[in-house]
Structure 1
Amino acid sequence: MYEEAGNSNLIMLLNTAIYPFLVAAVLTLLLGKVNTKLTTIGSAAGFFVGLFLIHTGLNLPPSKALDFLTVTLALGLLVSFIETTSLSDKAKMSVGVIALVVSFYLLLNPVLRHQGQAISIVCALAVAAITAIVSGLQKLGASERYSHAPALSLIVVAAVTAPVVSIGGSLLIGQLLGVFAASMGGLVLIQRFVWNTSSTSAVTLGSFVLAGLLAQAHVLADLPIWTMLVAYLALIVNIGLGWVMKEDGTVISTIKAIIPQVIVSAAIAGLSLWSVWPESSLY
């Protein structure tokens, strides 16, 4: 019995963290040799591998709510690449917001459609607005050459929120938050220590996926909406710090920028975990 439990835990660790991290890191390394603008694909591929391994009922083309995370990945990548073109800032912003609305509508509508299309559209618009504002502010104070704190902040929020979601309602979505943190971690590690370039190019894609998972945690797993919204408080803290504590390309500057983020995120996650902890024993 204990051997089976150990094997199950090992498989969960491999699927949730190790495989997504390795796929993201290797692809980021290889694609960076061609063009560093392509490295975002590494993070997307790592998340897709984890999604495929964990969500064993994944359908392509998508038919269920979690299946549409593949569309979210595609839209996030598309917007990430558009941001590197010579289009005007207004055009880039318009494309990004439209893509976010479409992404959230597809993620939420399979569950909300019984309440009417209007509810799905309003929810998609609301979440898209919040995501666009927070993501835009994260990149606004970031250095295109040195910054890793914005991407790391997404990783921290996902990592500390994962146990809250797992215990509070959905082990599957909790695992996918772990997959997201691992795949983003693989990209940031290679960007920082191999290519020595900023990882802010992955913030847009990361914002698409993280916000999508948090929204589904509320809709699919019935977690209180405030539990999901307060996760963004930690990102807002990082935004404020980004304007005060500038990264200069050294590891120590990145550590200084992210430590307050970790403290705030851990405190918020602890409060959220306490609020969703079941009255009966987990065992």
Structure 2
Amino acid sequence: MYEEAGNSNLLMLLNTAVYPFLAAVIITLLGKVKSHLSLFGLGAGFLVALNLIHSGLNFPPSKALDFLVTAVIFGWLATLVSQLKISKNTQLAVQLVLFGVAFYWLLNPVLQHQSQTISLIWAIASAAAVVLSNQLQLFTASKAHSHAPMASLAIVAGASAPVVAIGGSLLIGQLLGGLAASVVGFILAQRFVIKSSSINGLLLGNMILAGLLAQAHVLADLPFWAMLIAFLAVQVTTFSQKAFTEDGTIARTIIALVPQLLISAFIAGVSLWSVWPESSLY
């Protein structure tokens, strides 16, 4: 019995952390060939996690979690559009449309029993939150050196994973862990191999994180306030970078992330206390 439990825990660790991390690192290295190809590393890592953790994954999508695939695809498209030589307003409009459709598909399978109006409100509000969050993070980020904004996504995803897993959905909790591992792999490959900032993954990372937290509320019935605060917490690094601007050194990045670590740990602790089941977990 103990051997089976050990094997199950090992498999969970591999599927949630190791394989997504390796996939993100390997695919991100394509950026050595053409810089824009590194973006696919982050999405690839998460898709590996999704395929391994969500064993019933279907494409074309048929269930709410299946639509995480389209969310990644739309995140890629939105990022590629943001690199085109078109006006800023056009870029933001395209991002809002793409993410609005992505969130509608992510949440409508559950919200459809209420009304289309509710689904549309959720989709529009969620899309606007992702675009605004991304713009705020870019405002204080260094295009040449920043890794703290992306690292903040990994910290929030990692801190939220046990809250979601214990509070209502082990599967979504694992996916948050898979996202954290993918982001870390993406950052490390960008920092030490490609030697460039990792903020090109911010838009996609925000989309996946927001999608998972929204689904944790809608699918697993976790408190809305807990998921919203978790997502808003990524902005801690936005403010800390105003005081500790990254200059390309590892020490400076770590210093900029200290407030994020502390606040995310506090939020996770309060959220865990609020969702902890009254009965024993065992």
TM-score tier after normalising by the smaller chain length: over 0.9
- State the alpha-carbon separation in 1 of the partners of residues 133 and 28 from structure 2: 25
Instruction: List gaps (5 residues or longer) in structure 2.
Output: none
Question: 2:46 touches 2:182 (CA, 8 Å); kept in 1?
Answer: yes
- Which is worse superposed, 49-58 or 235-244? 235-244
What SS does the aligned partner of 2:233 have?
helix
Partner residue of 1:125?
124
Amino acid across the alignment from 1:268:
I
Alignment-derived partner of residue 191 in structure 2: 192
1:214-254 deviation digits (Å, cap 9, x = unpaired): 00000000001001011134212111112221000001110
User: Partner residue of 1:76?
Assistant: 75
Task: Count how many residue pairs are aligned between Structure 1 and Structure 2.
Answer: 282
Residue of structure 1 equivalent to 2:14: 14
Instruction: Give distance in 1, aligned partners of 2:178 and 2:231.
Output: 19
State the Cα deviation string for residues 55-84 of structure 1 (Å, max 9, x = none): 010011001100000000000000111111
1:28 equivalent in alignment to 2:58: no
Q: Where do residues 1-283 of structure 1 align in structure 2 (5 Å cutoff)?
A: 1-29=1-29, 31-283=30-282
- Structure 1: which 4+ aligned runs deviate by more than 3 Å? none
CA distance in 1, matches of 2:68, 2:92: 21
Amino acid at match of 2:192: F
Is the Cα contact below 8 Å between 2:149 and 2:237 reproduced in 1? yes
Distance in 2, matches of 1:175 and 1:212, equals 14
Range with greater deviation from structure 2 (234-243 or 51-60): 234-243
Larger mean CA deviation between 157-166 and 137-146 belongs to 137-146
**Secondary structure of the equivalent of 1:60?**
coil
Percent identity, please: 57
Matches of 1:64 and 1:232, distance apart in 2: 24
Unaligned runs of 5+ in 1: none
TM-score by length of 1: 0.98
Letter in 1 for 2:54: H
Contact 2:213 2:231 in 1 (8 A): no
Alignment partners' CA distance in 1, 2:243 and 2:111: 41
In structure 2, give the amino acid aligned to 1:23: A
- List per-residue Cα deviations over 1:175-219 (Å, max 9, x = no partner): 000010111111100111112110000000001100000000000
The one-letter code sitting in structure 1 at the alignment partner of 2:158 is A
My pick for the range that moved more, 73-82 or 124-133, is 124-133
* One-letter amino acid of the structure 2 residue matched with residue 145 of structure 1: A
Indicate conservation of the 8 Å contact 2:96/2:128, yes or no: yes
Provide the rounded CA distance (Å) in 2 between the counterparts of 1:208 and 1:129: 11
Amino acid aligned to 1:63: S
Is the Cα contact below 8 Å between 2:39 and 2:200 reproduced in 1? Answer: yes
**TM-score, structure 2 as length reference:** 0.98
Give the Cα separation in 2 of the matches to 1:253 and 1:20.
27
Give the whole-Å Cα distance in 1 for the aligned partners of 2:232 and 2:20: 27
CA RMSD of aligned residues (A): 0.8
Cα distance, 1:140 vs. partner? 1.4
Question: Quick one: distance in 1 between partners of 2:273 and 2:113?
Answer: 32
Cα distance in 2, alignment partners of residues 191 and 27 from structure 1: 11
